[in-house]
Structure 1
Amino acid sequence: MFPPAAEPVASLILSLITLSSLVRASEAAGSVFVYAGCSPSKFQPNSPYQSNLNSLFTSIAFSASRSAYSSYTTGAGDSTIYGLYQCRNDMSSADCSACVQSAVGQLSLVCAESYAASLQLDSCYVRYSNDNFLGRPDTSLEYAKCSASTTDDAEFFRRRDDVLGGLQAGTGFRVSGSGTVEGQALCLGDLSAADCTACLAEALAKLKNACGPAVAADVYLAQCYARYWASGYYLHDSKEHSEDDVGRTVAIAVGALAGFSLVVVILSFLIKACKLTTGGGDHVGAWTKIIC
């Protein structure tokens, strides 16, 4: 938590990071919106929880240029916040940093003043909560998508099953391919090898059971994800993989609000600074899910 005199500066830094990352969100590598989840319970603006969240977001934004994963505990008592971010292990430091900053910015916009929230972009993930979720196994379903395009080709299913088997057997960021089918999977960095394997087993089972003959499918659980696709699918299926309605709405809102918000942020900072110069847990319930 920031000391009172530093709070306006910290808020300004976070707001500028948020706005600059939002403006270039559509340009950042791997920054395609996948889903977001926001708790319905809200904290009060300018509260200790707000200060701790600002501190958490600032730490995440700066740390992402040095590491693909990190977790944090910020604050104490009812204002304690637990958070983490994760990038795909095949990303450069610059791309990871850009993706995470974009995720932090979008999360601040989509889930403003929520006690807990998570946001998944194509190549990175950010989550925070007032409940300690770090390192605790959780295979609850967050998001799933099956392609409308399907097939009854037995060879495709054989190749798909080979790919899914390869994803479960690997370690770290897992990539697998067989013939015309490709796939990838990733667990959060705070999971043990055994818990990662168990999480991916659940995700892969959901892929097959929920999506059946789909030529592409994505399943995101709370602590891991797995996906497969026919080679070239994401390049050529413009109907299903053009920017989704939620992602488009976020992009439009960002473009419309960024300039205005920057002026408001600077004015708010100046007002707070002038006041200083002159001397002047709620817990998460059901989640409201936003998906594409």
Structure 2
Amino acid sequence: MLRSLQLYSTHKTIPALSLTSLFFLFFSLSNHGCIYCVRAHIFIYAGCSQEKYQPNSLFEGNLNSLLASVVSSSSEATYNTFAIGNGTSTPPEGVVYGLYQCRGDLKIIDCSRCIQSAVNQIGLVCPYSYGAALQLEGCYLRYEHIDFLGQLDTGLRYKKCSKSVNNDVEFFRRRDDVLADLPTAIGFKVSSSGSVQGYAQCLGDLSSADCSSCLTDVVGKLKILCGSAAAAEVYLGKCYARYWASGYYDFSSDSSNVDDVGKTVAIIVGVIAGLAILIVLLSVCCKAMD
């Protein structure tokens, strides 16, 4: 269940990838010069259950089927839910539930790339976990062996606050206008007032009432946790919200969150990309010598 997912900011041991996975991850992160699309792959946070499943178990087979379905579905829809083994003779320990969702302003092709990246990374940051959640800037992926779908969860997952803005009455007025507008979202909402912009989104499995409740909560936490920050973002279990003043979209964190896992994944991905390029070059050279 959700409460079993442990959020962390410490390094995790990441298992080696197969050659096929190296190429798949490398090309899924290639966005043909699209700077905005690259941002979609930025690591935000992850959570892993302490329970571990055994290799080659029924759960692992069903999880692989779920993740394959997630990748396939993401080329056609920006949100979907799954239940593998539910309502059948499958033992409880083999059942897996999952969902994915992309940010509402992402095009379907960029959504699919983001989800492919998330599918590749979730096994790296949460190896053999019975439950895992991974939030990238452009998309979210989660699976569990217990049904979590449709359940409201306003637990804090991640916050990030920029430096404070002092004595800027106009900024605070504009920011408050944006934050007052965000809880009216049905799914995904973009709002702006002068030089301040923001957006908010609920996961698609929430009812309208639960979505509104979650967004009201997250906006309140933005003000409490980040105070007078020029830019801030807060992620709860089933929704998130973000605002920024002009020029502060890419802001440095002043919070205590240390994204060591994200840095670890970034390093691994960088090494993988380098290896993939090297392998391609060696392959070309070998063919040229034949």
Normalised by the length of structure 2, the TM-score is 0.78
In structure 2, C-alpha distance between the alignment counterparts of 1:191 and 1:78, rounded to whole Å: 25
Residue 23 of structure 1 corresponds to: 26
Alpha-carbon contact 1:203-1:221 (below 8 Å) kept? yes
Determine whether 1:194 maps to 2:209. Answer: yes
Amino acid at match of 2:223: K
Residue 219 of structure 1 corresponds to: 234
Gaps of 5+ in 2: 1-16, 32-36, 280-290
In structure 2, C-alpha distance between the alignment counterparts of 1:141 and 1:231, rounded to whole Å: 26
In structure 2, C-alpha distance between the alignment counterparts of 1:17 and 1:143, rounded to whole Å: 32
| Structure with a larger share of its residues in helix | 1
Q: How many angstroms does 1:17 deviate by?
A: 7.7
Residue 9 of structure 2 corresponds to: none
SS in 2 for 1:198: helix
Give the length in aligned residue pairs: 245
Q: How many angstroms does 1:86 deviate by?
A: 0.1
Residue 70 of structure 1 corresponds to: 80
Determine whether 1:172 maps to 2:187. Answer: yes
Alpha-carbon contact 1:18-1:106 (below 8 Å) kept? no
Residue 42 of structure 2 corresponds to: 32
1:46-65 alignment runs, 5 A limit:
46-65=56-75
Gaps of 5+ in 1: 1-13, 264-292
Deviations 1:90-140 (Å, cap 9, x if unpaired)? 211110100000011111111110110000011100000111100011111
Alpha-carbon contact 2:178-2:193 (below 8 Å) kept? yes
Deviations 1:22-78 (Å, cap 9, x if unpaired)? 324654521111111111111101100110110010000110010010000012322
Residue 134 of structure 1 corresponds to: 149
Determine whether 1:107 maps to 2:122. Answer: yes
In structure 1, C-alpha distance between the alignment counterparts of 2:19 and 2:153, rounded to whole Å: 34
Q: How many angstroms does 1:238 deviate by?
A: 6.6
1:245-284 alignment runs, 5 A limit:
245-256=260-271
Amino acid at match of 2:76: R
Q: How many angstroms does 1:150 deviate by?
A: 3.3
Residue 203 of structure 1 corresponds to: 218
> Relative contact order (alpha carbons < 8 A, sep ≥ 6): 1 or 2 greater?
1
Residue 136 of structure 2 corresponds to: 121
In structure 2, C-alpha distance between the alignment counterparts of 1:189 and 1:170, rounded to whole Å: 12
Summarize the Cα distance change of 1:21–1:87 in structure 2 as closer, same or farther, 3 Å threshold: farther
In structure 1, C-alpha distance between the alignment counterparts of 2:19 and 2:108, rounded to whole Å: 21
In structure 2, C-alpha distance between the alignment counterparts of 1:233 and 1:31, rounded to whole Å: 19
Q: Percent identity?
A: 54
Q: How many angstroms does 1:232 deviate by?
A: 1.8
In structure 1, C-alpha distance between the alignment counterparts of 2:29 and 2:160, rounded to whole Å: 21
In structure 2, C-alpha distance between the alignment counterparts of 1:234 and 1:25, rounded to whole Å: 25
Alpha-carbon contact 2:22-2:272 (below 8 Å) kept? no
Tell me the C-alpha RMSD between the 2 structures: 2.4
Q: How many angstroms does 1:256 deviate by?
A: 3.2
Q: How many angstroms does 1:251 deviate by?
A: 1.9
Amino acid at match of 1:204: V
In structure 1, C-alpha distance between the alignment counterparts of 2:204 and 2:20, rounded to whole Å: 25
Residue 94 of structure 1 corresponds to: 109
Summarize the Cα distance change of 1:68–1:99 in structure 2 as closer, same or farther, 3 Å threshold: same
